[in-house]
A and B are shown apart, each in its own frame.
Chain A
Amino acid sequence: MTIANSISEEQVWDWLEGVPDPEIPVISVVDLGVIRAVSVDSDAVEIKITPTYSGCPAMSIISLDIQAALAKVGVTNLTLKTQISPPWTTDWLSEKGKAQLKEYGIAPPQPSGGPESCPHCESRHVEKVSQFGSTPCKALWRCSDCLEPFDYFKCI
């Protein structure tokens, strides 16, 4: 049974699960680990977001997407706050998010600082092409066996 005008925090987390990362749309903003906290006070919702990289231009898109997604389900009293401490690290990525990255062709971050294997053919013969990639959170690597280039989610 649902009670009109009353939203649970769990419900908000559920809605946020449906908001994709604008640059890597296979994972949600929740699995990316940028949602720090959700609090609800009757119909007022407050969400704390942490940036991945301090200059990441996707952060403003993420805020807009969250506003749009919550407006769609009737949340109008929404406050988005930025929280930079403790800083985001790749540890905040969920296991589900890491698996989804790999499936999408992006090697998930590893504590060793480089990808474990090629996301296309699983070969462990991989080499770095560039420490940076198409977005602040990625580096460019290449597989020496299947010769395909691939993105690696940088470990910070």
Chain B
Amino acid sequence: MNHLLEFLLRQGDNALVLGQRMSEWCGHGPALEEDIALANTALDLIGQTQLWLGYAAEVEGAGRDANDLAFMRDAYDFRNLLMLEVPNADFGRTLMRQFLFDAFQVPWLQALTDSADPRVAEIAAKSVKEAMYHLDRSTSTVIALGDGTAESNGFMQRALDYLWPYAAEVFAEDATDFAMAEVGVAPLPSSLRGQWKKTLQATLQEAHLTMPEGEFAHKGGRIGVRHTEHLGHLLATMQVLPRSYPDASW
């Protein structure tokens, strides 16, 4: 197995799948400002996808490019976290997921700026600025809604309870993580778990939300063993055009 390729697909697929989910809000946001914010977040994530998958395609060396990797792979080829593929459901769950992801992604990308692979360091340095901005917003939205009305608090607590069993998948390490740590491309995700949890504790406390107990985490997304049934539907929507008209250009 090419561990670097595997590692890059994980970074790119996380950004792509979450970006696609966020873009589903375009035109459906609860307020115009929120609609714009969701679409802009999606745009940043899709931009980051181009960088990660662009490099992944080069490392793969099979004559494919970022678009081929995004549009011509099937669910079992994807390496994203399961949490990112579950449906948006409502605004509360969408923002809670964004927060849980951003809280890991910011220290993760910060660590990757020191990667032994200069391309990885470069992409991380570009992406981390956007991720910090996303974390800023998802944190304040989680607090505003958690510390809002009884109804909004209920939405956020239910979102947290639903997402919790998915939240820690990123810390379930495998041979690729160990290989990347060995050569200094990336630290072990588990080395950031304490920091991640601290961010969660501080924010959830301010939001009057209760962090669920239990360490159980669904696994399989990032190692590509099993995805939820939702990924196939997401890909069908995302991929239908380039698959129906493979050589279309405009």
Does A154 touch B at the CB level, under 8 Å? yes
Determine if B123 and A133 form an interchain contact, defined as CB atoms under 8 angstroms apart: no
User: Which residue of B has the minimal Cβ distance to A130?
Assistant: B33
Within 8 A of B (CB), among A101-156: 129-134, 136, 140, 154, 156
Chain B min CB distance to A150 (Å): 14
Chain B min CB distance to A22 (Å): 16
Chain A min CB distance to B112 (Å): 13
User: Which residue of A has the minimal Cβ distance to B140?
Assistant: A131
Total number of B residues with any Cβ neighbor in A under 8 Å: 25
For B4, the chain A residues whose CB sits under 8 A away are none
Determine if B47 and A53 form an interchain contact, defined as CB atoms under 8 angstroms apart: yes
- Interface residues as binary, B127-139 with A (CB distance below 8 Å gives 1, 0 otherwise): 1011001001100
For B41, the chain A residues whose CB sits under 8 A away are 132
For B33, the chain A residues whose CB sits under 8 A away are 129-130, 132, 140
Does B160 touch A at the CB level, under 8 Å? no
Does B43 touch A at the CB level, under 8 Å? yes
A-B pair count, CB < 8 Å, reads 65
For A53, the chain B residues whose CB sits under 8 A away are 43-44, 47, 130
Does B181 touch A at the CB level, under 8 Å? no
A55 partner, pick from B47, B122, B136, beta carbons under 8 A: B47
Rounded to whole angstroms, the CA-CA distance of A55 and B136 in the bound complex is 19
Total number of A residues with any Cβ neighbor in B under 8 Å: 21
Q: Given that A84-B123, A85-B126, A87-B125 are contacting pairs, would A54 and B50 also be in contact in the complex, using a CB cutoff of 8 Å?
A: yes
Q: Given that A53-B130, A156-B129 are contacting pairs, would A132 and B47 also be in contact in the complex, using a CB cutoff of 8 Å?
A: no
Rounded to whole angstroms, the CA-CA distance of A139 and B40 in the bound complex is 11
A84 partner, pick from B34, B46, B126, beta carbons under 8 A: B126
Binding site for B on A (CB under 8 A): 51, 53-57, 84-87, 89, 129-134, 136, 140, 154, 156
Q: Which 7 A-B pairs have the closest CB atoms?
A: A55-B47, A54-B47, A130-B33, A132-B37, A55-B43, A85-B122, A132-B40
Binding site for A on B (CB under 8 A): 33-34, 36-37, 40-41, 43-48, 50-51, 121-123, 125-127, 129-130, 133, 136-137
The 25 listed contacts between A and B (C-beta, < 8 Å) are: A51-B126, A53-B44, A54-B47, A54-B51, A55-B44, A55-B46, A55-B48, A55-B50, A84-B51, A84-B122, A84-B126, A85-B121, A85-B125, A85-B126, A86-B125, A87-B126, A130-B37, A131-B133, A132-B36, A132-B37, A132-B41, A132-B137, A133-B36, A136-B43, A140-B36
Question: Could you list 19 further interchain pairs (A-B, Cβ under 8 angstroms) beyond the known A132-B40, A154-B133?
Answer: A54-B126, A54-B127, A54-B130, A57-B43, A84-B51, A84-B122, A84-B123, A84-B126, A85-B121, A85-B125, A85-B126, A129-B33, A131-B37, A131-B136, A133-B36, A133-B40, A134-B36, A136-B44, A156-B129
